[in-house]
Structures are given as C-alpha cells and as structure tokens.
Structure 1
C-alpha cells in the first residue's frame, strides 16, 4: 500500500513517515519546507520505500503528482499557529483552505481510497462546554480556526458529492519528539523545555490557569492508523477528537517539566517562571471527549500526558542539549 503524507517533513508528518515505513508501507512525502525540516527526514533518506516530492499544496499540479498511484492520503500540511494567522491571515487561508481543496481534488481524481486529514481543536472556538464533543462547536476565534473548520466542511462535501472517504482528526495540543522548539510560533512544550535547559525564565501567557488536553505524538499516530484502516462503515466521513481525554493547566505543566528536566540538571528546578498577558485568540480551556473515537475506531490512547512528557523531555535533552 502507498501512503502520501503531506507536510511529511514537519513534526507530526515526519513521525507518521517513520512509523508507516516501519510497517512496510510505501511512503511518499510532499513538503515545501516552509515550516518542515529536512533533518526530520534524514533517518529514512535512501529507504527503498520512501520518496520525497518537494512541492507546494497551493500548486494543484504538485498535488496531482504526489497522489499518483497512491492508496491513502494523510494530509498534515498546513500553516499552523493561531498567532501567525492573526498576523498573516491571507497566507494562512491560501495554504490551509486553497491548499486543502487542491489536495481533495487531486485525491478525488486519483481515486484515493481514503483521505485522512489533520483537523484542529481550535474549531470549538467560543464553545464553553467541557469536555468538547465533536457535534457541538462554537464560533471560531481566529483566522486559523476558520480555515480548519472550512476544511471539515469541504471534506464533508467531497464525501457526499464525489464519494471520497474522508476522516478528520481534531488534534488537541500534540507534543513529542521532533517538535520544533525554535521560531516565533513554537509550541509551548518544546519552547518551555529549551528555555529551561538554558536556565532562561519561561513566559506563561496569563496566570497559568488556562488548561489544555496535551496529547503525545504516539497517540496521534495511533489515531491516524485507525482512521486509515478502519473497515467500520459508521466510522468514515466524520471527525474525531484526537486527544488523551484529560487536561493540564500551564502551571501544572511547568511543574512537570521542571521535575523531569531536573533529573538531567538539578539547577532547572530553581528557574523562575514569568507571567505575561493572555494571547489574543486563545481558548481558556480545552478538554476532549474521546468517547466517539473509542466507540467507532477502537481508540485507546497508549500514553498519558505525563508518560508522554517524560519521554519527550528525554528526547529533547538527548537531541537538543
């Protein structure tokens, strides 16, 4: 079986490439390296079942080339980050909406068996109910959130109109190995880890009581595999929360990071935390219901947040110190 992984040089995409190569799939990676990194692909360059197409999902021709002869698409390519979308909504829309539509068209034309795509917990917007249930969303709070919701609408239309099987995975704060700690829009966990390793004071936006359903990368890989391979007709043409199903405040996250990093450098326990203003577009609390994924896909997350965090910290210490 051949899988196309868009954004395969990114954090989640490169982990998916590695996993499915280990399962003897043929894997084709499409990436323009705008946010992905070539070093994420180094381990499987030259692998007999791996191919790289350097291209852009905003170019329909590149999308058609990528899906030629493929069975499945795992669409991870996107311009992430709520703050980035507030600064540059136009590029965010071009990549996340126009690029997504290009990939759907290419997948339809190539008669792809199933199109699994990265959706987002940002789609819940101003919905205040917890836990978040797939069928109940609010109004989006950022251009990024709008683009990810539009993805779901387009996927539904392509399923109904063209018979393309689609499954969306609403990722909740994914973290783990290969996640980039650098740049203005770095995710909070790798950013905090790097600052603590340098004995620099991390800045928490707000008072630290905002909470997130932090989700370890291996749980996300599991959900992608289940979504791609399920034979349950009730399980397709819908969306799923992709999470652990528990929430952690930013203050508690900082305590855990210091605890695990102190095993390598005891001085990290004494690094002070700074508190700043809340970020525009941020959702105060995020907690997923994973009941639907458990019921229809048989999902059972293999890693708790703490188990994943301990592994992630060890990876960062070994690879980035």
Structure 2
C-alpha cells in the first residue's frame, strides 16, 4: 500500500504518518507539504518520503500522486480568524487545492481520496448534537472553504465513480499541536499559557462548547478507512458525542497540572461557533472496532508531551 499524505508535516498529518509506521509497517508513506503551516521537525523519526511543494502547483502534484494507492488530503490553511483576516488564501488552499488533489488523483486512476472537512460547516445551526444530515450554514470564509473541501470528493463519487471519504473534524487535539502562533487552537493555547504561568485568554463567556477529539483516535479512523477501503457518499462526523465547555476544559487542565490557573475574558471572535457536538452515530457504525480516547486520557497525554517538549527546549537552550 502506497499512501500519500498532503499536509503531512502538520499536526494531524505527522501523527498519521507515525501511526501508519507503527500499525502498518509495510505501507509506503509519502508526504507533501509546502511548510507554510507544517514543520519539517514534525517528521523527525518518521519513515516516509518527504517532498516540499504546494498542492496549488499542478505539475508538482501530478508527480506526487503517481503510483499512489490512496491519498489522505490534509493540506489546508486552518483557522477561522485567519480566514476572516485574509479570505482569498484560505479559499485558494482549501477549495481550489482540494479540487487540484482530486483531479490529480482521478487522472492517475486513484479511487480513494480521504479529505478533512470541519464541523465549522454547521455554522449557525443551533441543533445539538449534530447529524451529518442536519443543515449547514457556514459563518466564516474558512467554513465555506471546508464545505467545498467535502463537497468536491463526494461529487466525484457520483460523477466519476470514485470511493472518496469526507470527514468533518471536531476540534482535534493532542501531542505535536503547535501553540506558538496567533491562530493556535484552544487546547495548545491554554496549555502553553498555563505551563508558562501566564493568564489564559477566554474569548466570550467560556460557556461555548466543543466536541474534542484526540488525534490518536483520528489517526486510527483514517488508517482503518484506508486498510478496509471504507468510503461514503455522505460526510462523516469524526467525533463521538462529547460536549465540553471552555470553562470545563480549564478545570480539567487545572486537575492535570495540580494547581489553579488565571483566566481573563475578551470579546467573542467573529465567526466563532457557539456550540459544537456530533451525535457520533455514523462514525461508530462505519468504524465499530475503533474505541475513542477519552478527553481525560487524551488531555493527560497532551500535557505530558507539552511538559517534555518544554523541558527539551530548556536543555537545548
């Protein structure tokens, strides 16, 4: 099995490559990344062929997919606030980039492309928990781009007989997730601040909720989909019906660290969804053998990774 991971030097992509090395050592892993949001150091110790380049470069992309059996398309410009500040780069990378990947795969005769959409596509839909068949109403350019990201591969199933799979990710977290930038996700932001003795910044009242999903669970699901050739003509929520407010998350972080942390509240950010939770029904039906990692266990592993990373950085300094 030869697998190509686009955006493979990023947080989820590098974790997936490492998971495949461990669970499917016979697979040949290829990674492409333009290193705009990914990091070469994420690939340390991973057995994979790495090629630096962009999914917007059609000639490069055509060469990258040659001879591949399955493509996992994770390359994207993430972040709602980043898309609000600069919508066009987000559209180009996420929407046009996905079309480029699908066209390259179709031309090469590759049947399966697995793509990363987002729970942000639900937008202003207030229903909880959310089913894949609920209506969507994106509230940010990022969410719109992710709706295109999932729409294209599903349309290619119908139009060209491909066997694609579109996952809606729900707040993926875990070891390797970068914290040191202005668009960092909430868990690495909070942990980085807490371990530095700084005040945690909470946008809004902190009662907004998320369905946090551990990156190890995400990797297990994706690798299983490749191994078993699982596909769907409808999107699949990759989350398991949990609901955690930011204030609850902070309490859990305090429990893991063994001491309280300071918080301050700022204005709610434009485009932020109030509540996000999947019903978890379809993902459990499609992947009945995968047991999701609990938030308590996943957060504990993430805290350890952050502590070890900081200790390593101190030693190098």
SS at 2:198's partner residue? coil
Pairing of 1:300-319 with structure 2 (within 5 A): 300-319=290-309
Aligned residues of 2:116 and 2:149 also touching (Cα < 8 A) = no
Instruction: Indicate if the aligned counterparts of 2:207 and 2:247 stay in contact, CA closer than 8 A.
Output: yes
2-side partners of 1:193 and 1:83: how far apart? 20
Which stretch of the first structure deviates more once superposed, 13-22 or 81-90? Answer: 13-22
What corresponds to 1:175 in structure 2?
Answer: 173
In 2, the alpha carbon distance for the partners of 1:295 and 1:176 equals: 24
Structure 2 CA distance, aligned partners of 1:125 and 1:227? Answer: 27
Runs of 4 or more consecutive aligned structure 1 residues displaced over 6 Å after TM superposition? none
Contact 1:97 1:151 in 2 (8 A): yes
Per-residue CA distance 1:183-203 (angstroms, 9 max, x = gap) = 110011011111111100011
Name the structure 2 match of 1:271: 261
Equivalent residue pairs, number: 309
2:208 to 207, 210, 230: 210
Cα distance in 2, alignment partners of residues 51 and 298 from structure 1: 32
2:287 to 297, 303, 309: 297
TM-score (norm 2): 0.94
User: What CA deviation, in whole Å up to 9, does each residue of 1:221-264 have, x standing for no partner?
Assistant: 122123223356xx5233111113211110010011121123xx
Write out aligned runs for 1:29-178 (5 A).
29-44=31-46, 47=47, 50-178=48-176
Contact 2:116 2:150 in 1 (8 A): no
Secondary structure of the structure 1 residue equivalent to 2:155 = helix
2:236 to 205, 228, 240: 240
Whole-angstrom CA distance in 1 between matches of 2:58 and 2:184 = 29
Q: Find the aligned partners of 1:56 and 1:191 in 2 and give their Cα distance.
A: 27
Give the match for residue 315 of structure 2. none
Q: Which runs of 5+ in 2 are unaligned?
A: 312-317
Distance 1:78 1:320 in 2: 27
Q: Distance in 2 between matches of 1:115 and 1:231?
A: 10
Cα gap change, 1:299 to 1:248, in 2 (>3 Å): farther
Q: Secondary structure at the match of 2:167?
A: strand
Distance 1:116 1:199 in 2: 40
Structure 1 residue ranges without an equivalent (≥5): 263-268
Counterpart Cα distance in 1 of 2:217 and 2:211: 12
Q: How far does residue 127 in structure 1 lie from its aligned partner after superposition?
A: 0.8
